[in-house]
Structure 1
Amino acid sequence: MQPFRTLYPKSKFLAVAVLSCLFCFAMARAEGLVARWKSEVLPLVEHHCYDCHGDGSHKGDLSLDDFGSIAEMQADRERWKRIRTHISQRLMPPSDEEQPTSEERKKILRWIDAAVFPVDPDNPDPGRVTLRRLNKIEYENTLNDLLGIKIKVQKLLPPDDSGYGFDNIGDVLTLSPAHLERLLRTARMALDKTTHPGPMPYPTQTILGKSLKGSGRSSGRGHYFTQNGESSGSVNFTKAGRYKLRIHAGGTMGAKQAPLMELYLNSKKLKSWEVTAPLDRPDFFEIEVNIEQAEKQELAVSFTNDFYDPDYPDPNARDRNLLVAGMQITGPLDGPRSNKPKSHRQIYGERSHFGSDEAWATDIFKRFAQRAFRRPLEPGEAERYLHFVRLAHKGNQSAEHGIRQGLEAMLISPSFLFREEPQPEPDNPKLIHPVSEHVLASRLSYFLWSTMPDGALMQRADKGELRANLDSEIERMLDSPRAEEFVSNFTGQWLQLRNLATSTPSSKAFPKFRYALSMAMMRETQMLFAHMIRQDAPLTDLLNSDYTFVNERLAKHYGIKGVSGDKFQKVSLKGTPRRGILGHGSFQVITSHPLRTSPVLRGKYVLENLLDIAPPPPPPNIPQLKPPTKKGSALSLRAQMEKHRDDPRCSSCHAMMDPIGFSLQNFDADGSWRKTENGKPIDVTGELDGGREFQGADELIALLTKDHQNDFLRSVSSKMLTYALGRGTDWYDKPAIDRIIKETENAGTGTRAMIKAVIRSVPFQYRRGDG
């Protein structure tokens, strides 16, 4: 095999041999790549790369000699992604070596893109998405919307893994035995709150023990009697009839005798009991009574045999007391039972008196599955759930109980837990097809709402009309309060707002900082992004908006006057040093250490989250910097970092990150503004690649907005597409991202416009077989 250096060299025979390896390319394209390699790229690679990575050298475990053809490069695209990244981000050649000019870098990168990562804009590859399990947030939202309840279940489930910065990535959302066990337990708990098979209980009123009035004393556990006495509560008997009265009580034995408890209704004694249940495990004591007319009456309980003897031989029997934890009044027992709850009626519906149990159950399963599985049931699919109805009959239970078991089975079915995307030829990677209307409805709903499609979306999909009405549905969904899920879940991960819960400045260094302030900072950034969506404001507002949203607590922290109360309001930032997200406390706190700011974390954040440039991880065994001290002889943080950058292992990455972080040093680790550090003026000058100098946050923001707008839009579109698809973007997604950016720019870079462009994109609308 010929080494990389001799790819298309002087030998005419070798040129012919290599061209035969380029069967997948048109001849003209191949000849153009050959010519460009010989004239433009090979001399640069020889001059700048081969001392370390060619002619037998393989520094960093990379040898360009390993690649004898373009086909071999394409077979190892993951390595070539890293090569391309290091060249584009000026990490290679090392900073202490001679550097290619900007134009020379572009020549190398353009050739790598054309040869190793060729794309056809006219025939883009939509990629494939791994079968995705619902993450915890999606599962909770879907369960609540499906069952018509509000129940918190996220804490009951194992944590979700993240990939590409998001927790909805199909490749990392595994399903372990622990998941299955807890999902089954959660499904049962949710259905217990939703459905009530069998007869409903009679109406019940409850009087808490702590609400009783009279002698004794109340506490959280109930009403205590330490001496003889009586306490009571009012009961509204709405109808005449037979009622069951139950007293929940416990006590302590005194002189080996249980406390006596008497029950009275309107001063008439009904019954007395010896309360043998212990104080820490109360039991029920009950009686049935006949109420002759509907009226409010007084129900009283008394303690009649108090005993206390500190000299009694048995120390455990020296004090006799009574605890009344509560009272229940059920009935009338000869009247109608309670109505089934709304959630039950929505699932079971109205039964026809003429149909069979199985016909009724089939209708329920079809309705429920259409929503739970986000698609209609396949022919014969309902049969597997009718099995539970037949089992209930064999066990002398009602059809309602069997249906309840069938619903439970649906809630742990892969069709519910996973987002299915049926394909005509799943194993054919060359077959590209539009996703079905029902799949499109699910993609839309989980992208914008983090939950199942609502009735309107499903109706459009059922009729095959969703694509024809896509823009109006997107507008409706973005205008819905449910779109808050997109704001919180997308920004919470893309902008790392979730990290605020654990990124707390030191209470010693910042004694006035409180958790409520941290949450206000999170809300500020969320409200800015939500406003940008609502108003279709330019995406660049995230970088340079001269307005924000604050409450009194946050306004006081920022030094903004005229804001009072806990309610957030839009305010102008004119006359303040704050602009966009880099002026938000959320950004400043999560990019700081507890005791000090971190220019590295701030620079890394801007590169990764706003420009989609990921610096490589730091080399091992690099000592941590010490926070600045108040000693005049101590090096400032900037001086320490400049000394740190003298290490060749660190200089390339830090040359990218540090200048950005230094320009933001006026913002302290708690998000407050400062001009000095330990009594000395803060140096906020910086210089980026190409010698572009800037000073302070305002000039950095202007630089990002003016010179890096395309990089910013590409970063946002890549992050948004990743979140929408549940997979990382790859080299073949470049045409789609280019198209998203173009459509967004044509619409004035509006935030809502980019969301629409992502939804209209080929990867969102199409997919190919797995293969």
Structure 2
Amino acid sequence: MRKTPSILIASTFSVVPTLHAQGNTGDLDTRWEKEVLPLVETYCYDCHGDGIKKGELAIDKYDSISEMQQHREVWKRVRDHLKHQLMPPIDEDQPTADERKKILAWIDDAVFPVDPNHPDPGRVTLRRLNRVEYQNTLRDLLGVNVNVMDLIPPDDSGYGFDNIGDVLTLSPAHLERYLEAARVSLDKAVIPGEMPPPETDLPGKDLKGDGQRSEDGHYLFKSGEAKTVFKPQRAGSYRVTITASGTFGADVAPLMELRIDGKKLKDWSVGARMDKPEEYSEEIRIEKDEPVELTAAFMNDYWDENYPDRSRRDRNLMVNAMRITGPLDGPAPEKPQSHKRIYLERKPGERDDSYALRVLNGFARRAFRRPTMEGEVKRYLQLVALAKSQGEGIEHGIRLALEAMLVSPSFLFREEPQPEPDKADKIHQIDEHVLATRLSYFFWSTMPDQKLMELASRGELRKNLDSEIDRLINDDRSRQFVSNFTGQWLRLRDIPSTRPQEKMFPKFNGKVRDAMRRETEMFFGYIVKEGLPIDSLLDADFTFLNETLANYYGIPGVEGDKFRKVTHTDSHRRGIMGQGSFQLLTSYPLRTSPVLRGKYVLENLLDTAPPPPPPNVPQLEPPSHKGDQRSLREQLEKHREDPSCASCHALMDPIGFALENFDAAGAWRDQENGKDLDTAGKLITGREIHGVDDLRKALVQDHKEEFYRSVATKMLTYALGRGLDWYDKPALDRIVSDTEKAGGNSRALVRAVIDSVPFQYRRGDS
């Protein structure tokens, strides 16, 4: 089992404020005056000093380190532009590599000082459950599947994820919707009072027989039948309720007859209009525990095109739905398991308030994901008493209290108690119940299960962290981590909205699009489950395909709808950049986009987001017979002649050009409009590449550490529910270092995120 660093053994330690990581203020001032300022004056002041402030940036206005620290956002942009060689502009004199490193090192030491021996874990805003977490938590808490996604307003995103505490607000509209969702879920999970007889509901469109079917129901436009076969639980009395409507013929309503196994039981004159159907009900007797055929028959069809009233020339019947309730006699059925799970068995002679308190205590421990506090649950007994005062039974009173618990802050928010919340200089290790919650929402997007809670209650979760992480990853619920993390980091959630133009890409369809998303999800999930190097995402020689996607890619030997692991024989398809999901997300409906593809690689795989483009930049158009005859590459090369665009495009364009063999719908091509594609380029580092294979090698050979840091940044952001800041650098350094020591092992990366100070500790507010 991995050992915790000695500095973190105590559960509480003080943050030692430090101005810089190396030396003292005097050393930094000296370095600035003698080493850094001359370089800044040489390479930066032409645009950002001596009275000039392009982009509203004047570096010479910051005359002290403390003032620079007060404007860290400005200096972060300065640092990023220098690091990624966006500044100075590409047509200006450039600092040497050593000079650039010297400036960056000083900015790190002076403006962003960190002390690895006294790390700052930061703090997380009290975090509301997002929609996915809320639905999953309701499912596991109540033991029923209820779709409440449409009831809850969409979540905002921050730092690329929708689980960020700072943006997960709670408005009155949210609270109203959460209360409605709680009621809908409890209606399915618990049944207070007498257990009603079971019901079988059949939409009209699911009935067999004559006529036509639609979402509205089963339409009989001439005499005929709408019927179903019903399997009774046992012999007994049942109620058949038919929801129906119709149109009059002459002055007579349609006649509907109920039959069982062809025998007439009842008929009705259906006077309900088509826009206002009504229920027609009859109690029947089923004598044997055998399937019976139930029929709604239309008996009096009528048509007269000469009838004076046009609205009464055609008599028709619409069977909107059929419901069978029963058996109505005999013993009441047992309550469902979801009900029994909450409403514990009552002890002989147990008083109502004692029983209610015992039920609510058990529910609250699971719903609030922690032990309850003294007196916390007793206040909910007031709702039980209110229901009883209105003539309701004890079970109805408990149901009312459960509703209140499901809109309590302790349920809707992920509480993380802080012993000294107002002291930012005190850091505390999170307790084991909070750790259990962080782990379960990280991997499963839902509440901790019983085992996690039991280990936390015994104070043994950290002792068993290795085995628990393995269990969490190997559990089927870890698919939530795969879909929610990759869905946002790699933007797979955007795939359903991609629409390559049908005429341009006739082989592409919805099944192909869905398969492309599934391919990338299974690919990432397999790498993590098997503990493969995380850089396998870039160059793995395998993927997951079904017949649909394999045929689209031109890969033989894959049959059936089931996805399976397939080894690549074509190097072009290796890694994520060879997958259709990547190509769809980085294209327009009519054409590819080297800029979007380059930006995606920089932003999502290297965490190097280029700045936004200047305003009013015209959109490039694909070459056409009537329009611009120049290729996209030629247009971009012309575009880069503008100095304000050249630096960013020097970063993005060579990456995008290398990927041009993939069209906008993810298929391979060697030509565009009859011309051979030119996929050559030179990366900002000076390395020349020719196509996707060279690009992949460049990323793996020259930028592996940046890739590790990018994945670590995204994963830690997702795990913490907050954006990372300059003081998180020691944590990221440690995660990257541990990953490198493990040969890039993806499990080691995940474990390093969980072991990190920000995941295991928190501090109070300033």
Superimposed CA distance per residue, residues 584-619 of structure 1 (whole angstroms, 9 cap, x where no aligned partner): 111112111222211111111111111111111111
Q: 8 Å contact 1:264–1:271 — kept in the other structure?
A: yes
Q: What is aligned with 1:413?
A: 408
Matched, 1:123 2:118: yes
Q: What is aligned with 1:597?
A: 592
CA distance in 2, matches of 1:750, 1:496: 23
> Quick one: structure 1 residues 236 and 484, their matched pair in 2 at CA, closer, same or farther if it must change by over 3 Å?
closer
Matched, 1:701 2:701: no
Output the amino acid matched with 1:614: A
Q: 8 Å contact 1:630–1:678 — kept in the other structure?
A: no
Matched, 1:445 2:444: no
Q: What is aligned with 1:53?
A: 48
2:718 to 718, 723, 730: 723
Q: What is aligned with 2:148?
A: 153
Output the amino acid matched with 1:179: H
CA distance in 1, matches of 2:293, 2:628: 81
Superimposed CA distance per residue, residues 229-255 of structure 1 (whole angstroms, 9 cap, x where no aligned partner): 899877777666665555555555555
- 1:541 deviates by 0.6
> Quick one: structure 1 residues 266 and 145, their matched pair in 2 at CA, closer, same or farther if it must change by over 3 Å?
closer
> Quick one: structure 1 residues 644 and 355, their matched pair in 2 at CA, closer, same or farther if it must change by over 3 Å?
same
Tell me the TM-score normalized by structure 1: 0.90
> Quick one: structure 1 residues 716 and 200, their matched pair in 2 at CA, closer, same or farther if it must change by over 3 Å?
same
> Quick one: structure 1 residues 24 and 232, their matched pair in 2 at CA, closer, same or farther if it must change by over 3 Å?
closer
2:674 to 679, 682, 685: 679
Matched, 1:424 2:392: no
Matched, 1:511 2:506: yes
Q: What is aligned with 1:93?
A: 88
CA distance in 2, matches of 1:234, 1:113: 75
- Structure 2 counterparts to residues 687-766 of structure 1, below 5 A: 687-766=682-761
CA distance in 1, matches of 2:407, 2:490: 33
- 1:689 deviates by 2.9
Please say which of residues 390-399 and 312-321 is displaced more in the overlay.
312-321
- Structure 2 counterparts to residues 278-357 of structure 1, below 5 A: 278=273, 280-286=275-281, 314-316=309-311, 330-331=325-326, 333-357=328-352
CA distance in 2, matches of 1:208, 1:663: 54
Please say which of residues 351-360 and 585-594 is displaced more in the overlay.
351-360
Secondary structure at the aligned position of 1:577 is classed as helix
- Structure 2 counterparts to residues 531-610 of structure 1, below 5 A: 531-610=526-605
Please say which of residues 22-31 and 34-43 is displaced more in the overlay.
22-31
> Quick one: structure 1 residues 642 and 399, their matched pair in 2 at CA, closer, same or farther if it must change by over 3 Å?
same
Matched, 1:626 2:621: yes
> Quick one: structure 1 residues 427 and 262, their matched pair in 2 at CA, closer, same or farther if it must change by over 3 Å?
same
CA distance in 2, matches of 1:153, 1:383: 29
Give RMSD over aligned pairs: 3.0
User: Is there any run of 5+ residues in structure 1 with no aligned partner, and where?
Assistant: 1-21
1:669 to 664, 670, 675: 664
Q: What is aligned with 1:373?
A: 368
Superimposed CA distance per residue, residues 397-420 of structure 1 (whole angstroms, 9 cap, x where no aligned partner): 111112111111111122111111
> Quick one: structure 1 residues 688 and 297, their matched pair in 2 at CA, closer, same or farther if it must change by over 3 Å?
closer
> Quick one: structure 1 residues 302 and 579, their matched pair in 2 at CA, closer, same or farther if it must change by over 3 Å?
closer
Q: What is aligned with 1:78?
A: 73
Q: What is aligned with 2:520?
A: 525
> Quick one: structure 1 residues 395 and 56, their matched pair in 2 at CA, closer, same or farther if it must change by over 3 Å?
same
Q: What is aligned with 1:496?
A: 491
User: Is there any run of 5+ residues in structure 2 with no aligned partner, and where?
Assistant: 1-16
> Quick one: structure 1 residues 239 and 681, their matched pair in 2 at CA, closer, same or farther if it must change by over 3 Å?
closer
Superimposed CA distance per residue, residues 514-542 of structure 1 (whole angstroms, 9 cap, x where no aligned partner): 12112211111111111111210011111
> Quick one: structure 1 residues 560 and 23, their matched pair in 2 at CA, closer, same or farther if it must change by over 3 Å?
closer
CA distance in 1, matches of 2:330, 2:218: 31
Matched, 1:196 2:191: yes
CA distance in 2, matches of 1:595, 1:301: 52
> Quick one: structure 1 residues 69 and 348, their matched pair in 2 at CA, closer, same or farther if it must change by over 3 Å?
same
Q: What is aligned with 2:633?
A: 638
CA distance in 2, matches of 1:318, 1:629: 57
Please say which of residues 238-247 and 102-111 is displaced more in the overlay.
238-247
Superimposed CA distance per residue, residues 645-697 of structure 1 (whole angstroms, 9 cap, x where no aligned partner): 11011011111111111122122222122222222222222212342222221
> Quick one: structure 1 residues 392 and 34, their matched pair in 2 at CA, closer, same or farther if it must change by over 3 Å?
same
Q: What is aligned with 1:473?
A: 468
> Quick one: structure 1 residues 290 and 632, their matched pair in 2 at CA, closer, same or farther if it must change by over 3 Å?
closer
Output the amino acid matched with 1:392: A
Q: 8 Å contact 1:212–1:223 — kept in the other structure?
A: no
CA distance in 2, matches of 1:616, 1:544: 28
Q: 8 Å contact 1:240–1:293 — kept in the other structure?
A: yes
CA distance in 1, matches of 2:650, 2:365: 55
> Quick one: structure 1 residues 303 and 542, their matched pair in 2 at CA, closer, same or farther if it must change by over 3 Å?
closer
Q: What is aligned with 2:139?
A: 144
Output the amino acid matched with 1:642: E
Matched, 1:404 2:399: yes
CA distance in 2, matches of 1:440, 1:628: 56
CA distance in 1, matches of 2:261, 2:518: 55
CA distance in 1, matches of 2:363, 2:669: 58
- 1:74 deviates by 1.0
Q: 8 Å contact 1:202–1:336 — kept in the other structure?
A: no
- 1:335 deviates by 1.6
Q: 8 Å contact 1:596–1:668 — kept in the other structure?
A: yes
CA distance in 1, matches of 2:363, 2:59: 58
Secondary structure at the aligned position of 2:164 is classed as coil
CA distance in 2, matches of 1:393, 1:761: 51
CA distance in 1, matches of 2:138, 2:464: 27
CA distance in 2, matches of 1:768, 1:288: 66
- Structure 2 counterparts to residues 12-51 of structure 1, below 5 A: 28-51=23-46
- 1:315 deviates by 5.0
CA distance in 1, matches of 2:548, 2:294: 50
Aligned length: 748
Q: What is aligned with 1:462?
A: 457
- 1:152 deviates by 2.1
Superimposed CA distance per residue, residues 413-458 of structure 1 (whole angstroms, 9 cap, x where no aligned partner): 2211111111111121111001111111111111111111111111
Superimposed CA distance per residue, residues 269-322 of structure 1 (whole angstroms, 9 cap, x where no aligned partner): 766655444455443444556778877777777777776666655555556666
CA distance in 2, matches of 1:547, 1:357: 62
CA distance in 1, matches of 2:287, 2:552: 66
Q: What is aligned with 2:654?
A: 659
CA distance in 2, matches of 1:592, 1:298: 55
Output the amino acid matched with 1:587: F
Superimposed CA distance per residue, residues 102-138 of structure 1 (whole angstroms, 9 cap, x where no aligned partner): 1001001101101111111111110111111111111
Q: 8 Å contact 2:20–2:115 — kept in the other structure?
A: no
Tell me the TM-score normalized by structure 2: 0.91
- 1:29 deviates by 2.4
Q: 8 Å contact 2:19–2:25 — kept in the other structure?
A: no
Q: 8 Å contact 1:203–1:337 — kept in the other structure?
A: no
Q: 8 Å contact 1:197–1:404 — kept in the other structure?
A: yes
Output the amino acid matched with 1:162: S
- 1:39 deviates by 2.8
Superimposed CA distance per residue, residues 10-47 of structure 1 (whole angstroms, 9 cap, x where no aligned partner): xxxxxxxxxxxx99569952333233223321221222
